[in-house]
Amino acid sequence: MLLALNCGSSSIKFKLFQLSDLFVLISGSATRVDVGGQTPVLKVVVHHRDARHEECEREEEKEHTEYDAVFQRVIEHIETSVSKHFQSSSDGSRPRDVIKIVAHRIVHGGTETQPMAIWPGHEQSLTKLDKLGQFAPLHNHRAVEVVKSCLQHLPESRQVLLFDTLFHQTIQPHIYTYPLTAPESAPFIPLRKYGAHGLSYASVLSSMSSYLGKPASHINIIVAHLGSGASVCAIRDGKSLDTSMGLTPLDGLPGGTRSGSVDPALIFHHTKDAANDADFKGTNLSKGEMVLNKEGGFQALSGTSDFGVISSRATSSRVAGSEGPSQAERDAAKLTYDLFIDRILNYIGAYVFKILGGSPSGSPNPEGRSLDGIVFSGGIGEKGWQLRQDLGAYFAWLGCWVDNARNEAVGTEKDENGKEKVVYEISKEGSKVKLFVCMTDEETQCAITAKELKID
């Protein structure tokens, strides 16, 4: 079996696959992990090949709130489900020992150019990745701690580390370079754009290739991965041309608690001790970095990091005398909503020109490329029909319009095999540029990539 793990700062998503054909046996998540005052919720779903589902959701005891403790509970639940549904062992072996590969999503790989495989006894390889936590403070340290836990508690497994940054290795120097003099002291990694959400973009590219019936190398799309962490990527000829996140995931679009791009001098006026050291869940940062990562974004503007709440407040009218958000809360939500749309449009507009524009020699679109579509993915991109509709209103100049009925039907249909539909076209018939929603699946992309490595 193969276990895929996707660890965030306060969540753990997982899928257990049959290694032979990558059929999903168990999936689930742990949320509200190590969040002060909240009790983690663990959800486990068992999948059977005859399409039956058995689901278990429970709240963890308050003493099991720390990240490693919750992860151990995840492993215990997986082990219980494997033993009950998929394995009957009489030789005394533990169900967890049938997990041969654990595939980990790691946000920042720095200069790594290939996935990394680690066995027990080679933990020193993780030192560099842990240091990279300063460049992805909401994710890397947590993910590395889980790798260490797997080395200890799943010793029969091979740990495969898959980096989001690998997808963006095709970005050219004139795009990834920052116009600054060399730093005073040698940095841990070169200070340049690396990008993120690479496994999500790889998943979307694969799904769009299948849907359009074209090789990935012929696909030209703009993908907006919109969630509590949000970014946009221009994919030309199946490769990352540019992306909104930079040296760190902080650059680009605002998110749940990230500010996104701001004037670089702003933080020194906002936070007077911005250069002082701070600690964020085991990662050393400057105070300024922590403020921009944890005290910005949707939360800072509207008082909530939940974009569903923001969208509801921003797009509904207040009825006099009724219960609900105050006018001030609605105004704050509207500002947040409009700002998010504006920032997304900045990147989509620029990337249309980058994909379809001419060459430096001045010849217009010498390869005759067309834009296969603009694709929405991620939790907000997949669920936010109102946001997609409002963004689509700006695309008329492309000869592109949202079909409201199609848009509102996203997430309600099955494919010919009875599985959840992956790709939805939401543009009107006759649109010159098509709009899509694609259900991204980082865990499955991890599994596919790890299996292709053929690690013994």
From the candidates 34, 50, 97, 164, give the one annotated as an active-site residue. Answer: 164
Q: Yes or no: say if 409 and 416 are a contact pair by the CB < 8 Å rule.
A: no
Residue 367 among known ligand-binding residues:
no
> Is 164 labeled as catalytic in the residue annotation?
yes
The conformation of residue 402, written as its DSSP 8-state character, comes to: B
d(C-alpha 448, C-alpha 105), whole Å: 12
User: In a 3-state reduction of DSSP, which class is residue 210?
Assistant: helix
Identify the burial level of 287 via C-beta atoms within 10 angstroms of its C-beta, where 0-12 means exposed, 13-18 middle and 19 or more buried: middle
Residue 442 among known ligand-binding residues:
yes
Contacts of 79 (CB under 8 A, 6+ apart): 94, 95, 96
Determine how many CB atoms are found less than 10 A away from the CB of residue 151: 19
Residue 217 among known ligand-binding residues:
no
Give the N- to C-terminal CA distance of the chain in Å, as an integer.
13
Q: Yes or no: say if 97 and 156 are a contact pair by the CB < 8 Å rule.
A: yes
Residue 373 among known ligand-binding residues:
no
Residue 227 among known ligand-binding residues:
yes
Q: For residue 178, what are the CA distances in angstroms to 185, 253, 301, 353?
A: 16, 18, 29, 21
Residue 38: its H or E element: none
Residue 240 among known ligand-binding residues:
no
Residue 192 among known ligand-binding residues:
no
Residue 141 among known ligand-binding residues:
no
Closest CA to 193 of 139, 141, 133, 244: 244
How far, in whole angstroms, is CA 329 from its chain's centroid? Answer: 28
Residue 131 among known ligand-binding residues:
no
How far, in whole angstroms, is CA 415 from its chain's centroid? Answer: 24
Closest CA to 151 of 126, 129, 117, 119: 119
Determine how many CB atoms are found less than 10 A away from the CB of residue 36: 5
Q: Yes or no: say if 12 and 74 are a contact pair by the CB < 8 Å rule.
A: yes
Determine how many CB atoms are found less than 10 A away from the CB of residue 409: 15
d(C-alpha 205, C-alpha 436), whole Å: 12
Contacts of 289 (CB under 8 A, 6+ apart): 134, 137, 250, 278
Active-site residues: which are they? 164
Give binding residues for substrate as ranges: 105
Give binding residues as ranges: 6, 13, 105, 225-229, 442
Give binding residues for ATP as ranges: 13, 225-229
Give binding residues for Mg(2+) as ranges: 6, 442
